[in-house]
Structure 1
Amino acid sequence: MGRGAGAEGSWPKTARAALSGAGGRGDGGGWDVTVGGFWCTARPSGAPPLPERGWQLRVSAAPAAGEAVLSAVVRVLAADPCGFRFAAGQECLSVLDSGTDEPGSTGAFITVHPADDAQFQRLAAELDRATAGLPGPVLPADRPYRAGSRVHYRYGAFAPPAEPGDDGEHRPVPRRPGGERGEDARGRSYRTPGRGRLPFGASGAEAVTAAGATAGATAGPGTAAGSGAAAAAARRRRGGALPAGRYAVTAVVRQCAQGGVFLGREASGGAEVVVKQARAHPAAGRAGADARDALRHEAALLARLAGQGVAPRAVELIEQEDSVFLVQERIAGQPLDGWVAARLRRDDGPGVDWAEAGPVAHGLLDLVERVHAQRLVLRGLSPGNVMVRPDGTLRLVGLGLAVETGRPAGPAGTPGYRAPEHGPGRLAPARSRVADPAVDLYALGGLLFLLATGHDPLLPEDLPRARPVPERLGRWLALAARTGGTARRLAPVVLGLRAEQPRQRWGTARVRAALREDSPGRTDATRPGGNPGTASRSDAAGPSAVPPRPRLGGPRRRPAPAPPAVRRSPSDTTGVSGA
């Protein structure tokens, strides 16, 4: 989403029209309303400059209710003037609610800058009354005024001066009154300011504990509420802020406006679980679907795949207040990219040794075949969505993008593993507007490439002429095959699966046959003069593999440029990668 003037939406006109009726209620009798593309700022005319820091009020809204929330807020601020800013249009608000913007701004539609603590308290109560009943998300970086309120608050910098950083970019740096650098308490979760006065007359630990109890009631699991007696009291006040009171959350993996992912245990038996939360109203994607619908969809997929040895077991789906919680079995192990990175050794050539890579290659093929047998297309297959368990078996996690074969489905996938027909900015042909198993075959080829080379199949821009991607990957595989046994075995399969045309990609039957070959690289598709054929869609042939020692051009002793670096993840034993 651009931040330039062209990004302006329709809501600045709404604000100007509402403020124009304020008459003499604004300082100086008017308002200054300016638009900077994504954001619109309004200030009473003649108002003194804002302080560098203080308490802020932030109001959330669902995109469809944005104009109603803005109108309600403007009516309050016209009667009790102070500066505020808001997202300039519905598309801008959708970006905020999606959680793709900076973490501290996620879901924050309107930010109000009260002149002092007294106005802060007045406006908090008035804005809460004015927006009651209107839909909007919880802001994970802020504290709600009350459970279920659209009004939130935080303490931080209003408009600190910008200073150049190490990279030359100018960023706001808050300063204390004496001039020393100060802390701006922004981030992914609410942080109480050090020794600053707390709002609403609360003091010290009482305010922190009360705020923790409120957050637990609205944000679900994973909210820290202190320790010892204070934490126990907070848990009692929020009536067991855990899903259905049956699960104890032990760690927060991720939080955003849409919800979060948490680790936990069953309160009765102590079994480890993963808890996914989806809050009301934030859109799960550009189509505008509610995040709760997406989580219900994932729960249905897990139920459909139960007993197949493919994915975690769904324990239960819980509807609680404005959230949906999916409790599922926790898969111990590492995501595939971390597993690969831990086995790369410079002395043994590129990729993972075939003794370890071979079983994983067969396991990946098994997973894809079992999912396709259920007439499902994963659409999001990537290293982060494959867990390698301690016993070497594999499980898929994060199945929210999967849909039935043939159903309408837009572009999806991870760069390097996303099929070319789903590339960004590409006008999708008719065949890619429905879920097609060929996109999973392309991603499977990327996973096998990772095993063979230790790298994601990401290629830099090819200038001055763009060579075909299979040709470039073939050269990379041929180089890896000089010293890597896994690359020699998997090169024909990878190139067969990575064909740019979906109908030319190898089917799972052909992949399995190639993996069983005693002499990889000698199939019909790779023999000189061989005819790969395209007998059927499910077993179509891809491009031929490149021989182990291609003529790369230039002196043979000249080292080839290093491929792009692999994404080397640290070991992950949470079982929630890709969730």
Structure 2
Amino acid sequence: MQDLDTVAPQAPAAGRHEQDWRALVDQYLPVVPGKSGWRYCPPQVAHPAQGWKLHISATLPNAIDVFRRCAPLLAARGVAFKSVKTLNILGRLNSAIPFGFSQIGKFITVYPRDAAQAVELAELLDQATQGLGAPAVPFDRQLRPGSAVFFRYGAFGHEEVETDDGTRVSAVRMPSGELVPDLREPGKAVPDWIECPFHAPAEMASPPTPLQTRFLCYEAFMQRGKGGVYRAVDIHCSPARLCVVKEGRRHGETNWHGLDGRSFVEREEAFLRAMDGLPFAPPAVIDAFCIGEHRYLVMEHIDGEPLLQACADPQKKIPLADALAYAAGVAQLVAELHAAGWVWRDLKPANLLVDRSGRLRPVDFEGALRADETSDTPWGTPSYMPPEAKRGAFAGTHQREDLYGLGATIHQLLTSWLMHRDEADPAAQASVVQRPTLGRLRKGVPAHVRALVAQLMDADPARRPMATVVAAELARYAVPALPVPVPAARDSAMVRRVREKMWKDVQEMLLDEPVLMEA
């Protein structure tokens, strides 16, 4: 099951930028549909139902600069365009969660009146945004290498067509009059029945990369703005072996401190190399390399299942002895990590695998820091983060974040309680809500374990016991080999309801658009 809550909250500085952003969009984008995540500048003349769309991409740090360079140019020409209602929504778009991979980079969307205006505007917008880094817009064509301007042919209006499986999707009309799906897929930015008016830059021959000559990716575990994670085969070994390739995209999910997908992967690489051979067994590094501006980290493939598989359904609790054994294993792992001088900052059941031998294996260390480092950037999954982690800069060690995450993880292992049931709408900043106590959710949990979890999740970080203390207290429940979680045949009804509500809210935000005047 895909984790539903994977975006860290905003940095405190974001509030100041949101105020500046509100002033800008109030000036240039007067139309605000009810539930939409967009604001609009309507066209000054009649508008076609379809045509060449332009997308101007931006990161959180440079979005206001991009808009200030582009909005006056567009407004002066009376062209329709839209942008996000808040910068928080831009952060969500660029992460692909929950709006979808195809929405990455779509900061400003421009609706030119015809092909000639599209070409003219693309050149002007490219000149205006020179030197401003931006994530690529999936499935669009880039005007030229390094440009923040992307284009595709698509629908401007609300026409739809029904697909073979009964789904209704946005549609464009062919010259014959037939309605066909407006596809957001690789190679579909320019339909084969229309001539592209943009000058296509010449393709430069490049030498083969390790992803073509050694590590052959064949399955995506995850795709989001900062990069993908792929199952791959290392064909240089005999016999060939499975591995995992993690991609860090330059400008992908750039945060307010300028850190992007490449920065995160480089941080994880440094952690894994430093931890090589230590007893808590993070994945071993096989290789690392760059392709263009992106960084790729190749790691050991762990054949196992995440603990989340065992505790994602509140109606199917883990047997108590197994849950306590898992808790003991997690506590020991965190104690060993802290003893090695590092802090994880993303401890949760989804990042803990049990391999086929029954050994607990941790994964995903993009947020890891040395124990003596501090960071102003909130990190992690909100449901497992302590309240103080969202208040910005603080003195002292980040170990207290891991300790709170340890308490939240043990709580979920014992109860299968899902924090997602209380999440707000997907555009809002996620927040931690008070969990019911262990005693309310499950009978039979030993009193000292209930007290330990409460202490780990204390609002005062100074009261949280160290991981070594927790590990010693839970050691009596440890077993030589942990049971491997069994993947559920389907998600629980509660998870499906949460996902369906999120998807409905997302669709309303993306699709609640005013009707452009048609020619």
With normalisation by structure 1, the TM-score equals 0.63
1:310 has 2:269 as partner? no
Are residues 175 and 507 of structure 1, via their aligned partners in 2, closer, same or farther at CA, if it must alter by over 3 Å?
Answer: same
Once residues 25 and 213 of structure 2 are traced to their aligned partners in structure 1, the CA distance between those partners, rounded to angstroms, is 42
Structure 1 residues 373-421: Cα deviation after superposition (integer angstroms, max 9, x where no partner): 1222222111111111111111111111222224323444434422243
Distance in 1, matches of 2:221 and 2:380, equals 22
Q: Within 5 Å, which residues of 2 pair with 1:112-191?
A: 112-121=110-119, 123-124=121-122, 127-128=125-126, 131=129, 133-160=131-158, 183-186=181-184, 191=188
Q: Distance in 2 between matches of 1:566 and 1:435?
A: 35
Counterpart residue identity of residue 102, structure 1: F
Partner residue of 1:450?
412
> Equivalent residue for 1:252?
220
Counterpart in 2 of 1:473? 437
- State the distance in 1 between where 2:422 and 2:93 align: 30
Equivalent residue letter for 2:469: R
**2:454: which partner in 1?**
495
Match of 2:398 among 407, 430, 436: 436
Higher relative contact order (CA 8 A, sep 6+): 2
Match of 1:322 in 2: 293
The DSSP-based 3-state class of the residue aligned with 2:346 is coil
Distance 2:333 2:497 in 1: 23
CA distance in structure 2 between the partners assigned to 1:152 and 1:130 by the alignment = 14
Contact preservation (8 Å) 1:409, 1:433: no
Question: Deviations for 1:38-75, whole angstroms, at most 9, x for unmatched residues?
Answer: 75645664x22x22223312222345555665576579
In 2, Cα distance between equivalents of 1:474 and 1:130: 57
1:352 paired with 2:319, answer yes
| Superposed CA offset, 1:489-527 (max 9, x none) | 843443343333323333334333433459xxxxxxxxx
2:97–2:224 CA contact under 8 A, matched in 1:
no
> Structure 1: how far apart are the matches of 2:74 and 2:495?
52
| Cα distance, 1:300 vs structure 2 | 0.7
Instruction: Report the CA distance between 1:158 and its aligned residue.
Output: 1.5
Instruction: Report Cα offsets for 1:531-561 as digits up to 9, x if no partner.
Output: xxxxxxxxxxxxxxxxxxxxxxxxxxxxxxx
Alignment of structure 1 residues 6-155 onto 2, 5 Å: 8-10=22-24, 34=30, 36=32, 41-42=40-41, 45=44, 47-48=45-46, 50-63=47-60, 65-66=62-63, 69=66, 82-86=79-83, 96-99=93-96, 102-103=99-100, 104-121=102-119, 123-124=121-122, 127-128=125-126, 131=129, 133-155=131-153
CA distance in 2, matches of 1:312, 1:500: 33
CA positional deviation for 1:172:
9.6
User: What residue number does 1:299 align with?
Assistant: 269
C-alpha distance in structure 2 between counterparts of 1:6 and 1:180, whole Å: 45
Q: 1:259-278 deviations in whole A, cap 9, x for unaligned?
A: 32222222422332222222
Gap change, CA 1:39 and 1:291, over 3 Å in 2: same
> Pairwise mapping of residues 391-410 of structure 1 onto structure 2 (< 5 A)?
391-410=357-376
Q: Which residue of 1 aligns with 2:484?
A: none
The question of whether the paired residues in 2 share the 8 Å contact of 1:40 and 1:86 is answered with yes
Residues 504/568 of structure 1: CA separation in 2 closer, same or farther (3 Å cut): farther
Spell out, residue by residue over 1:71-117, the C-alpha distance to the aligned partner (whole angstroms, 9 max, x if none).
Answer: 76579869987443445897776665455573343212332323334
CA–CA distance in 1 between the matches of 2:40 and 2:412? 48
| Alpha-carbon contact 1:87-1:93 (below 8 Å) kept | yes
- Indicate if the aligned counterparts of 1:302 and 1:313 stay in contact, CA closer than 8 A: yes
CA distance in 1, matches of 2:448, 2:419: 17
- Structural mapping, 1:261-280, within 5 Å: 261-269=229-237, 270-280=240-250
CA distance in 2, matches of 1:117, 1:82: 13
Equivalent in 381, 384, 393 of residue 414 of structure 1:
381
Q: 2 CA distance for matches of 1:69 and 1:512?
A: 50
CA distance in 2, matches of 1:174, 1:312: 45
Q: Give the aligned CA root-mean-square deviation in angstroms.
A: 4.6
In structure 1, how many angstroms separate the alpha carbons of the residues matched to 2:89 and 2:325? 47
* 1:307–1:55 CA distance, 2 compared to 1 (3 A): same
* Contact map agreement 2:374 2:398 (CA 8 A) in 1: no
Q: 2-side partners of 1:180 and 1:78: how far apart?
A: 34
Contact map agreement 2:403 2:464 (CA 8 A) in 1: yes
1:223-277 deviation line (CA, Å, top 9, x unaligned): xxxxxxxxxxxxxx66436558532221233333333222222242233222222
Q: Distance in 1 between matches of 2:77 and 2:209?
A: 36
Correspondence for 1:333 among 258, 282, 304: 304
Q: Give, as a single letter, the amino acid of the residue that structure 2 aligns with 1:58.
A: H
Distance (whole Å) between structure 2 residues aligned to residue 55 and residue 282 of structure 1: 25
In the alignment, the residues of structure 2 paired with residue 418 and residue 141 of structure 1 have an alpha-carbon distance, to the nearest angstrom, of 34
Mark the structure with the bigger radius of gyration: 1
CA-to-aligned-CA distance 1:109-140 (integer Å, 9 cap, x gap) = 33232333454455556655665554222112
Counterpart residue identity of residue 324, structure 1: R
Q: 1:387 to 1:567 in 2, by over 3 A?
A: farther
Equivalent position to 1:288, from 258, 263, 286:
258
Q: CA deviation at 1:336?
A: 0.8
- Secondary structure of the residue aligned to 2:222 is strand
Paired-residue identity, %: 29
| TM-score under structure 2 length normalisation | 0.69
Mapped contact 2:104–2:136 kept (Cα < 8 A): no
Amino acid of the residue matched to residue 285 of structure 1?
N
How many equivalent pairs are there?
A: 445
> 1 CA distance for matches of 2:71 and 2:387?
47
**CA pair 488-194 structure 1, distance change in 2 beyond 3 A:** farther
Separation in 2, partners of 1:421, 1:81: 47
Q: State the secondary structure of the residue aligned to 1:55.
A: strand
CA contact (8 A) 1:145 1:152 kept: yes
Q: Which residue of 1 aligns with 2:355?
A: 389
